[in-house]
Structure 1
Amino acid sequence: MKYLAAECYLPHAAPMVMLEQVLEVEEHAARCQVRVSKEGVLAPFLDEQGRLPSWFALELMAQTIGVWSGWHASQGGSAPRLGMLLGGRGLKCSLPTFPADALLTVSASMLLQDEKLASFECTISMNQRGNPESKSVAQAGLNTYQPDAEELQTLFLKKPRQETPLQGSAT
Structure 2
Amino acid sequence: MTYLSPGEYLPHDAPMMLLESVKDVTEERAVCCVSVNAQSVLAPFLNADGDLPGWYALELMAQTVGVWSGWHRQQEGQAHIALGMVLGARELICAEGRFMAGTTLTITITLLMQDARFGSFECTITAGDATLATGRVNTFQPSAEELTSLFNQGSRT
Structure 2: 5+ residue stretches without partners: none
How far off is 1:76 after superposition?
Answer: 2.2
How far off is 1:160 after superposition?
Answer: 3.2
Q: TM-score, normalized by length of structure 2?
A: 0.95
- 8 A contact 1:29–1:68 mirrored in 2: yes
- 8 A contact 1:6–1:67 mirrored in 2: yes
Residue aligning to 1:82: 83
Q: Secondary structure at the match of 1:152?
A: helix
Q: Secondary structure at the match of 1:87?
A: strand
- Superposed CA deviations along residues 97-140 of structure 1, whole A, max 9, x for unmatched, are 1111100000000100111001110000013xxxxxx2111100
Residue aligning to 2:98: 97
Residue aligning to 2:57: 57
Residue 160 (structure 1) aligned with residue 138 (structure 2): no
Residue aligning to 1:148: 143
RMSD: 1.0
Residue aligning to 2:22: 22
Amino acid at match of 1:91: L
How far off is 1:27 after superposition?
Answer: 0.7
C-alpha distance in 2 between matches for 1:77 and 1:48: 44
Larger radius of gyration: 1
C-alpha distance in 2 between matches for 1:101 and 1:80: 32
C-alpha distance in 1 between matches for 2:55 and 2:102: 17
- 8 A contact 1:69–1:80 mirrored in 2: no
Q: TM-score, normalized by length of structure 1?
A: 0.87
Q: Secondary structure at the match of 1:111?
A: strand
- 8 A contact 1:4–1:22 mirrored in 2: yes
